[in-house]
Structure 1
Amino acid sequence: MVHTMLYKSLAAGAIAFGLPTFASATLIFATSMGTSTDPGFLSTIKYADGKLEVINKQLGICGNNPSWLEFVGDHIYCLDEAWSSITGSLYNFQVPRDGTNLTLINKLDTLGGPVSSVRYGQNLKGLAIAAYAGGGFQSFDISNPAAPKALQNSTFTISPKPGSDPQQKTSHPHEVVLDPTGNFIAAPDLGADLIRIFKVDKNTLSYVESKTVPTPDLSGPRHGAFVKLDSGTYFYVVTELSNEIIGWKVTYNSNGLDLDFGKELFIIPTHGPGSTGIGNTTRASELVISPDNKFLLVSSRFDEKTFDIPDPEDNAAGRIKSDSIINYAIEADGTLSLHQIFAAGGINPRQFSLSKDGSLVVSALQNSGHVALIKRNVQTGNLTEFIGAVHLGGQPTFAKLKEDTKCA
């Protein structure tokens, strides 16, 4: 059910800004892509006493086009898409307790344009990567965080469909997602209109591509997530080109060695059933499930009808335009109902993430050059107010709370 009063107040730009107080500081790590003249960088943001502060900014530490971050103890793995190279990179840093002055441990080559990673296997000792530009899937052994080792890699070829989008001339895996059993990894392939399913061996970390699940032509599946409910397991994907959310009920055979997506459970526009006003430039981006498995959130970039909100970095600085985060309730049967539409905090929310308890949303706004922090009510699921934002410059592409690293 849509919270109508809240939706109307947001549409009018009436968004509250609060400053809750916390006893200790939590760290947010964010990547920003560079330009033709300036290098990319990795930033550390301290969140304490309801305020955000950039406490570290290291230029070029993860190449010129850093994207996804993976936290492993006191290490951070950073992917560099390396647009000017046919290969990408996997950087490994050691992070001190205060989050400043990250130390480079090593760097490994990857397939071209790595955009997403996920840990898998026994004790999560494996790291799988989706390589967008390289049209591939790759695995690494990170059982020794200080000495990761490349394992397997696979690349895919496709036959472009007539009238296809320029992004669909080649295979473009855009994310890797571990299923609840840990036996499978799903990789939405934006170029091929497929969800690629990989069966993994938890002990050896080896994998095989077990099947592909088609999505509608010219849909461009980008990011997805599994959720396990009392009624079964479901998989959702957001499509970048058609701006839709697709859901499947996933079934496993008796010994768990295979899974089946079957027919789509539903296909709905990202902004809700029957929604209009999504322009030709609009591109859906991120999809995240809340920690309690009750809500699904997606971000929409370059909305035709953006929000007009007070600048979350400084209310006195005036107002800014903002794209959307669309919030759905997950029903008992796996279907979705529109719950809320909230401002993302700026333009081009390429990625956002939730805190472990679901009370905070961290939004990376690529075209606005900043990272915004949003308060979320874990009982109602509503995004409620902006805590604030920090300007990083460059093109922020990823931001996440590292909640096992805190400073006083």
Structure 2
Amino acid sequence: MNDVKERIAAQLAAVRGRSLTYTDAEDDLLLRQHSALMSPLVWDLAHVGNYEELWVLREAGGITPLRPEIDDIYDAFKHPRKDRPSLPILGPGEARRYISGVRGRVLDVLDAIDLEDPDPLRRGGFVFGLVIQHEHQHDETMLATLQLSRQPGLVRDGELPPGRAAGPAEVFVPAGPFTMGTDTLPWAYDNERPAHRVELPAYWIDRFPVGNAAYAAFIEDGGYDDPRWWSAEGRRWRQESRAFAPLFWTREGGAWWRTRFGRMEPVPMDEPVQHVCWYEADAYARWAGKRLPTEAEWEKACGWDPEAERARRYPWGDDDPGPGRANLGHRAARPAPLGAYPAGASAYGVEQMIGEVWEWTDSCFLPHPGFRSFPYREYSEVFFGGDYRVLRGGSWAADPAVVRTTFRNWDYPIRRQIFSGFRCARSASPEQA
């Protein structure tokens, strides 16, 4: 097995170990639906195996289906999450046996496949990147489900570097073109392609994500009750949800507390705020006299190198993420303090754009010019339009295999159970531009 195949095999093993860790619990917890927003954990577990069977074994490997009778059960586009508990899903033991059987055959396909095959699904091992990223994305979904379960002791925690106060609060990004998207990153999804030139006027963007202390100031100033800061849709959401703070926050004894994976703890004021929806992010930005960055502004500040006139894979360059550059891969079950990763700064000096929290942008989820669906329409194309807002950057729960400067996530603007936060931007004045 060559080096590429060895790396793929190692990543397959790593992501499967992660999935099994998050589902190492009593059967009742795995079968229960903890929120109508989420699937039972055991549905996610069997779904990643079914997805792997569909794409690696059947499409790339030409292998006869193992369990065709469960395809409908694990079709995410046919069955909304709220309806999945009523399906005849596999129990925990059977799900583990099924995904293990699929994985053994997947490794046989990996051993036999020609990575120089001109077929785009096989070339460079794209199909393996597809299933690795897909499983990591479901692992992050499992973590969100575990957070909603409020069950203590199920999620490991770890140490993070300390934060720091560093430099100005905003970074200036000069006017000019940059290359958005990619044609070259081997496992990039269809919605990240093709690369194209975008011209932007000058703007300012926050050096760090908005922190808990700043967000608490917005709450204390009556931000949730002041209609000046909310769009019409945001006001309706606010009235219907009765939200008064980020999800999982409570007020006790004059201080803010949060529930984090079953533990009650004081809200750390030096961390990026998370579990806020797009409407909350938009309202805060208006209160602060700013706005949310567009998706293009976010990507330019994150990945563009103005001196080399090229896009970087990560803010700091093309080297893989390490523990000194970004908070990724569930090193700890929370965002790191603001200023914790100076070595992860972008060429413009913007920090913590990868890891910590998914960052809401002002943009709706739309195709890049010249977009073409691959390998199936339901990954991106069916979601294009005004219903979804784009998130960027990847959270502390995202694996390095999933994140890059071009990666695009999207969700409804009401969603708060995801590990979402934001940073603000503002247009430069004519004198500054």
TM-score, with structure 2 as normaliser: 0.25
Point out the structure with the larger helix share: 2
Point out the structure with the larger strand share: 1
By relative contact order (CA 8 Å, sep 6+), the higher-ranking structure is: 2
* Structure exhibiting the larger radius of gyration computed from Cα positions: 2
TM-score, with structure 1 as normaliser: 0.27
